[in-house]
Amino acid sequence: MSAMITVFKKELRDMFRDRRTVMISLVVGTLLGPVLMFGMIKLMANRVSTQMEKPLTLPVAGAENAPNLINWLKGQNIIIKPAPKDIDAAIANQSEDVVMRIGPEFGTQWRKSLPAEIELIHDSTRQDADIPVERIENLLENYGKTVGTLRLLARGVSPTAIQSLQIAHRDLATPQSRAGQVLSFLPYLLILTAFLGGAYLIIDVTAGERERQSLEPLLATPASRTAIMSGKILAACAFGMMSLVISLMAFKICFLFSSGLGVKVELLMGTISLLLVVLIPILLVGACLLTLIAASVKSVKEAQSYMSVLMMLPLLPTIILMVNPVKNQLWMFAVPFLSQNQMILKLVRGETIGKTEWAVYLLAGFGLAAVLWAIAARLYHREKLAISA
């Protein structure tokens, strides 16, 4: 234990001597996620508020065929203008988001109380057109319901006669669970920070020292190689935990300003503490896995080549759940990365995590970390580890 603590202090001291690297990895790297998330929420809120509140310019072909409808739309903050000659080309080159076409048969269908056809021309793959199209559809639907009600009243029929069912919704979602839905990408950022938070340190203290030929004198000391390796892993975990704390506090500060963006999110200190507990197993798994990789390669460059693959691992559960959402099941809490994703979402949504789920999660997480630690310790006892490439 004494040797492990000595190595732990030594690696942290060496790490913090390189102030520029610490500043980039510990401050800039951890703050990038919260700032990026805050910027995305602000851009989304500005886009929605701008497109929903500002006057909407709508090109209309055949406006003379429905003068009453056109006048009503003008009163709903819609600016009517003539449609371009080539509508398809205008939609394709994004000069117009949506064009409304009213055919010459509109008047005849209207007078016969038949459904009068209106065509909305747009490209559904253009996200910029989503809000304008939805806005026009809602206005047309409201206009159609109003006219339909007036037609029934004119014929002495109650409008409720056509409503055989009345569906009522009782939404059990809480404000905190709605906020958790908005923060669906938060687990990936936190898991990635925990999993690779100590990557630079753990690669440098094994593969880097091996290249600099400073690992051999350390391994020649009376301290056991297991204690030396454990001290290095402990230092990487401490550095990763500092990154997590900074990242979570940055999220908390960003959420304080989210109420003005139409999204109210609150990250309590109790939730932050539980999030840190949830992320400890994956922090250990990442440190032990990186130690295993660093002890099995010949250079820092070779160790860093694994980073692109490792960065994709935390993203897999997010992609899977996005394509195929599933209900929580107990086996999920034993699967690396997927379990962290589910646990973080539960905490952010304000849901209670059962004792069985905690037990399965912690046993699986620490069990995997122990297996990786044992394999890494076996590699550390190889004699050729101390030999520089």
What is the per-residue pLDDT across 95-132, written as a single tens digit (0 to 9) for each? 888 999 998 999 888 888 888 889 999 998 887 788 88
- Residues 16, 201: contact at Cβ < 8 Å? no
- Any alpha helices (H) in 174-306, and if so which ranges? 175-182, 186-196, 199-203, 209-211, 215-219, 225-256, 269-296, 300-304
Q: State the DSSP code for 55.
A: P
pLDDT tens sequence across 311-322: 888 888 777 776
- Residues 282, 337: contact at Cβ < 8 Å? yes
- What was the pLDDT predicted at 327? 76
CA distance 276 to 244: 8
More confident residue, 63 or 205: 63
pLDDT tens sequence across 174-232: 666 665 565 667 788 888 888 888 888 888 888 888 777 777 787 778 888 888 889 98
Is pLDDT of 48 > 70? Answer: no
Burial 98-115 (b: 16+ CB within 10 A, else e): bbbbbbeebeeebeeeee
Q: Mean per-residue pLDDT for 137-149?
A: 89
Amino acid identity, position 8:
F
Q: Band of the pLDDT at 265, cuts 50, 70, 90?
A: low
Strands 98-102 and 56-61: parallel
CA distance 290 to 286: 6
As a three-state string, the secondary structure of 59-115 is EEECHHHCHHHHHHHHCCCEEEEECCCCHHHHHHCCCCCEEEEECCCHHHHHHCCCC
How many other C-beta atoms lie within 10 A of the C-beta of residue 218? 17
286: nearest Cα among 306, 300, 305 = 306
Q: State the DSSP code for 23.
A: I
For the record, the structure tokens of 195 come out as 């999993």
As a three-state string, the secondary structure of 198-213 is CHHHHHHHHHHHHHCC
Is pLDDT of 149 > 90? Answer: no
| Share above pLDDT 90 across residues of the chain, in percent, rounded to a whole number | 19
Domains of the chain: 2-39+178-386 (no CATH), 55-149 (3.40.1710.10)
